[in-house]
């Protein structure tokens, strides 16, 4: 896979497919982590004299312009981080995009409007997707893929466009791939994996694959209750995917056969309903045993004994991968489990990887120093699919 060091970019129009899919509250960016992650590659290209054309998706618009998903606030924030103005095209491939790109001089940068405002970006039809990629290719001389959070998508700007232009991987993708290889090819042991989040169905593939790789798998978040149910415990009103119980039982059986240690909560914080995440009103949780959750209560975070247990299971590790919060970390009464896991990673001597998505957001929201972790991924779904052993279209497109 070529990198930007292999490209001659001086005076050239370089299309950078970034991942600037940040959370917005109205027009306010609530977490700019992905924008900051894109800055080094863009800066390097600008310093080398490129005319940089940045493109990204944001949210899930329906293939047509939708003001709530505009990248205009991102252009402003990107300009602040780069220390120079970012010209903003109000469309993707039409008059504004062409005029904006034509107006760039060497060392200047533009951002196109949300790629998903054009139905061709995500089209299942190869011809429709290819036609959009053709129009994007007209805007540039070279292509740099740097949106790791999108490389698991077979989209026009990720998969089809690199075939139409000389291409290379940006620094962010190159780093992500190097890190993920440390979790799959040359793993330092003991290797522990911490998985959380709401649904076990979102993690089935990665659990299946990690049963061949990991020494220890710790489970938290809403998905833990399906595991507890699979062990025969009642889980009250907690989140439960009843249809996945047989699958989880099979995983537990296979783990035991292979000597992989599955670690589940021993206690949980529970309440009689989901907390109000807007007002953050006190939720008055109570600690209950994980194997005896009352019928009228819902588990919303791992409990204090589980936090200590998980910290002890991470203390002697050499490699840790963490994806998914331990509870409803957005509410202060249910953030301590996720905080405890983050702190345990910092206290561990291990090479620690935070696998993007809500885990990365939690690290920032809860006030941890991002640089203290071995690596914080920008792509939750992409990281998981890589660890499942899947071929990621966006990476395959950069490798030829």
Q: What is the pLDDT of residue 378?
A: 82
The reply to whether 321 falls in a domain is yes
Helix (H) or strand (E) holding 286: strand 286-289
Binding residue ranges for substrate: 19-21, 34, 57-60, 116, 153
Per the annotation, the verdict on 199 as an active-site residue is yes
Q: What is the pLDDT of residue 290?
A: 97
CATH code, 328: 3.40.50.1260
Please tell me whether residues 80 and 148 are part of one structural domain.
Answer: yes
Please tell me whether residues 234 and 280 are part of one structural domain.
Answer: yes
Task: Kindly report the backbone phi and psi dihedral angles of residue 116, in degrees, each rounded to the nearest multiple of 5, phi listed first.
Answer: -80, 5
Per the annotation, the verdict on 49 as an active-site residue is no
Task: Answer with the one of 170, 190, 214 that is the final residue of a domain.
Answer: 170
Residue 85 and residue 80: Cα distance in Å, rounded? 8
Q: What is the pLDDT of residue 297?
A: 97
Q: What is the pLDDT of residue 308?
A: 98
| Beta pairing class for 51-55 and 13-17 | parallel
The pTM for the full model equals 0.88
Question: CA torsion, points 378, 379, 384, 387, in degrees to nearest 10?
Answer: -60
Q: What is the pLDDT of residue 43?
A: 98
Per the annotation, the verdict on 34 as an active-site residue is yes
Please tell me whether residues 98 and 217 are part of one structural domain.
Answer: no
Please tell me whether residues 151 and 229 are part of one structural domain.
Answer: no
Q: What's the Cα-to-Cα distance from 395 to each of 37, 53, 162, rounded to whole Å?
A: 18, 20, 10
Task: Answer with the one of 170, 196, 228 that is the final residue of a domain.
Answer: 170
Per-residue pLDDT of the chain (400 residues), as tens digits, is 999 999 999 999 999 999 999 999 988 999 898 999 999 999 999 999 999 999 999 999 999 999 999 999 999 999 999 999 999 999 999 999 999 999 999 999 999 999 999 999 999 999 999 999 999 999 999 999 999 999 999 999 999 999 999 999 999 999 999 999 999 888 999 999 999 998 889 888 899 999 999 999 999 999 999 999 999 999 999 999 999 999 999 999 999 999 999 999 999 999 999 999 989 998 889 999 999 999 999 999 999 999 999 999 999 999 999 999 999 999 999 999 999 999 999 999 999 999 867 888 899 889 999 889 999 988 878 888 998 888 999 999 999 7
Please tell me whether residues 204 and 142 are part of one structural domain.
Answer: no
Please tell me whether residues 51 and 132 are part of one structural domain.
Answer: yes
Q: What is the pLDDT of residue 168?
A: 98
The reply to whether 396 falls in a domain is no
| Beta pairing class for 298-302 and 216-219 | unpaired
Catalytic residue, from 77, 98, 164, 199: name it: 199
The reply to whether 399 falls in a domain is no
Please tell me whether residues 234 and 381 are part of one structural domain.
Answer: yes
Q: What is the pLDDT of residue 93?
A: 98
Range 195-210 burial, b when 16+ CB lie within 10 A, else e: bbbbebebbbebbebb
Binding residue ranges for (2R)-3-phosphoglycerate: 34, 116, 153
Please tell me whether residues 130 and 259 are part of one structural domain.
Answer: no
Task: Answer with the one of 170, 203, 230 that is the final residue of a domain.
Answer: 170
Please tell me whether residues 229 and 162 are part of one structural domain.
Answer: no
Binding residue ranges for ATP: 203, 299, 330, 356-359
Order of strands, sheet of 319-323, starting from the edge strand that comes earlier in the sequence? 261-263, 216-219, 191-195, 319-323, 351-354, 375-376
Catalytic residue, from 34, 213, 307, 339: name it: 34
Per the annotation, the verdict on 381 as an active-site residue is yes
Catalytic residue, from 220, 236, 357, 394: name it: 357
The reply to whether 52 falls in a domain is yes
Map tokens 């429709």 to a residue: 128
Catalytic residue, from 149, 337, 381, 394: name it: 381
DSSP H stretches of helix in 163-288 = 171-182, 204-210, 224-230, 245-258
Map tokens 């994806």 to a residue: 323
Q: What's the Cα-to-Cα distance from 380 to each of 50, 63, 177, 256, rounded to whole Å?
A: 30, 23, 13, 28
| Beta pairing class for 13-17 and 142-145 | parallel
* Residue 13 DSSP SS3: strand
Please tell me whether residues 153 and 187 are part of one structural domain.
Answer: no
Residue 87 and residue 109: Cα distance in Å, rounded? 6
Identify the domain containing residue 67 by its residue range: 4-170
The total number of structural domains that make up the chain: 2
The reply to whether 350 falls in a domain is yes
The reply to whether 56 falls in a domain is yes
The reply to whether 397 falls in a domain is no
Please tell me whether residues 64 and 111 are part of one structural domain.
Answer: yes
Please tell me whether residues 384 and 247 are part of one structural domain.
Answer: yes
The reply to whether 11 falls in a domain is yes
Residue 168 and residue 164: Cα distance in Å, rounded? 12
Residue 373 and residue 228: Cα distance in Å, rounded? 30
User: Is the torsion defined by CA of 21, 27, 29, 35 positive or negative?
Assistant: positive
- Write the DSSP assignment of 155-196 as a string of letters: -IIIIIGGGGS-EEE-HHHHHHHHHHHHTTTS--SSEEEEE-
Binding residue ranges: 19-21, 34, 57-60, 116, 153, 203, 299, 330, 356-359
């Amino acid at each position: 896979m070529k990198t930007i060091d292999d490209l001659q970019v001086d005076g050239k129009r370089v299309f950078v497919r970034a991942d600037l899919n940040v959370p917005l509250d109205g027009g306010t960016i609530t977490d700019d982590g992905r924008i900051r992650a894109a800055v080094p590659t863009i800066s390097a290209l600008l310093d080398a004299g490129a005319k940089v054309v940045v493109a990204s998706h944001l949210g899930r618009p329906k293939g047509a312009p939708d003001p709530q998903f505009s990248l205009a606030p991102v252009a402003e924030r990107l300009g602040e981080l780069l220390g120079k103005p970012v010209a903003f095209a109000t469309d993707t491939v039409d008059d504004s995009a062409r005029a904006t790109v034509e107006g760039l001089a060497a060392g200047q940068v533009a951002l196109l409007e949300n790629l998903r405002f054009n139905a061709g970006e995500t089209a299942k039809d190869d011809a429709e997707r290819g036609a959009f990629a053709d129009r994007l290719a007209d805007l540039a001389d070279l292509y740099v893929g740097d949106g790791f959070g999108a490389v698991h998508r077979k989209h026009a700007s990720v998969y089809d466009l690199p075939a139409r232009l000389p291409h290379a991987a940006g620094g962010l993708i190159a780093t992500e791939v190097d890190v993920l290889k440390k979790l799959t090819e040359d793993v330092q042991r003991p290797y522990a994996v911490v998985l959380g989040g709401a649904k076990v169905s979102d993690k089935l593939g990665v659990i299946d694959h990690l049963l061949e790789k990991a020494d220890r798998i710790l489970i938290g978040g809403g998905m833990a209750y399906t595991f507890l149910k699979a062990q025969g415990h009642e889980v009250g009103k907690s989140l439960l995917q009843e249809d996945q119980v047989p699958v989880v039982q099979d995983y537990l059986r296979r783990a035991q056969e292979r000597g992989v240690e599955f670690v589940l909560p021993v206690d949980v914080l529970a309440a009689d309903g989901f907390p109000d995440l807007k007002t953050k009103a006190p939720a008055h949780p109570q600690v209950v045993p994980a194997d005896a959750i009352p019928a009228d209560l819902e588990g919303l975070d791992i409990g204090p004994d589980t936090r200590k247990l998980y910290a002890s299971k991470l203390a002697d590790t050499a490699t840790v991968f963490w994806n998914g919060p331990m509870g409803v970390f957005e509410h202060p009464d249910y953030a301590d489990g996720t905080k405890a896991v983050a702190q345990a990673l910092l206290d561990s001597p291990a090479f620690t990887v935070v696998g993007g998505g809500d885990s990365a957001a939690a690290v920032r929201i809860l006030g941890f120093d991002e640089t203290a972790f071995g690596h914080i991924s920008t792509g939750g779904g992409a990281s998981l699919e890589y660890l499942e052993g899947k071929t990621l279209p966006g990476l395959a497109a950069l490798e030829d």
